[in-house]
Amino acid sequence: MIHRDIKPDNVLLKPDAAGARLNYRPILTDFGLAKLTASSESAVTEQQPIGTYPYMSPEQCLAEDVDQRSDIYSIGIVLYEPTVGRLPYNPKSIAEAVRYHTREPLPLPSALRAGFPSDLESVIVKALQKEPNKRYQTAADFAADLQSMLRPIADSGPGRRACCART
C-alpha cells in the first residue's frame, strides 16, 4: 500500500500501553489517497499530482510512478518539521512544489539549528534525497536507522531529548 498523503494531520501519536516515558506509537490515518499495489506491481502512476504540497515527494509532484520510497520521503518531511522547527519547503502551488522538491537543495537542519544532532540529520537527509534510489529503500531500513539513533537520545536525559522538541 502506498499512502500518498503522509503529513502531520494524518499521524496520531498513541501513548504506549506500558506507560513508559516518551513511548508513543504513531498511527497513520486518512487513507483517502492510498493505493493498493499488487505483488507484480511496484508503483502507482496518476495523471496529475495528488497529495499535500509541502509533504509530496519529487516523483509525486511530477505525477510519476510512486512507490514506498515516496512515502519515505513524506515521512522524512514529517520528521524534519518538528525537529528543525519549520518545513524545509512551504510551496503554495504545484509549480512551487515541483521546483522546491525536485530542484532546490534541502536546507540542512544543522544550518538552521545550532547543535542539531548529526546522526539525526543523516537519517533525515537520506530520507529526503531527490532520487528515490538514493533514499531508504524500505520503511524497515528507515525505521532501523531511526530506532538505533533514537535509543541514545531517550537514554541521555531531558537535556538531550529537548533537542528534538518543536520550538
Q: Which of 5, 30, 65, 155 is catalytic?
A: 5
Give how far Cα 36 sits from Cα of 39, 43, 147, 161, 164, Å: 10, 10, 27, 37, 33
Give the predicted TM-score (pTM) of the model: 0.78
Report the residue count for the chain.
167
pLDDT per residue rounded down to tens, the chain (167 residues)? 777 788 888 887 788 776 666 677 787 766 656 676 644 345 555 566 677 889 999 998 888 888 899 999 999 999 999 999 999 998 888 888 889 989 999 999 999 999 999 999 999 999 999 999 999 999 999 999 988 877 655 555 444 444 444 33
Establish whether 30 is a catalytic residue: no
- pLDDT (0 to 100) of residue 81: 94
Look up cell 512544489; give the residue.
97
- Report helix, strand or coil for 104: coil
Which residues are CB-contacts of 113 (< 8 A; sequence separation ≥ 6)? 84, 85
Q: Which ranges of the chain would DSSP assign to H, the alpha helix?
A: 58-61, 68-80, 94-102, 109-112, 118-127, 139-155, 158-161
Q: Which three cell numbers stand for residue 58?
A: 519529487
- Residue 28 forms beta bridges with which residues? 11
Q: State pLDDT tens for residues 96-125.
A: 888 998 999 999 999 999 999 999 999 999
Amino acid present at 119: D
The domain 42-155 belongs to what CATH superfamily? Answer: Transferase(Phosphotransferase) domain 1 (1.10.510.10)
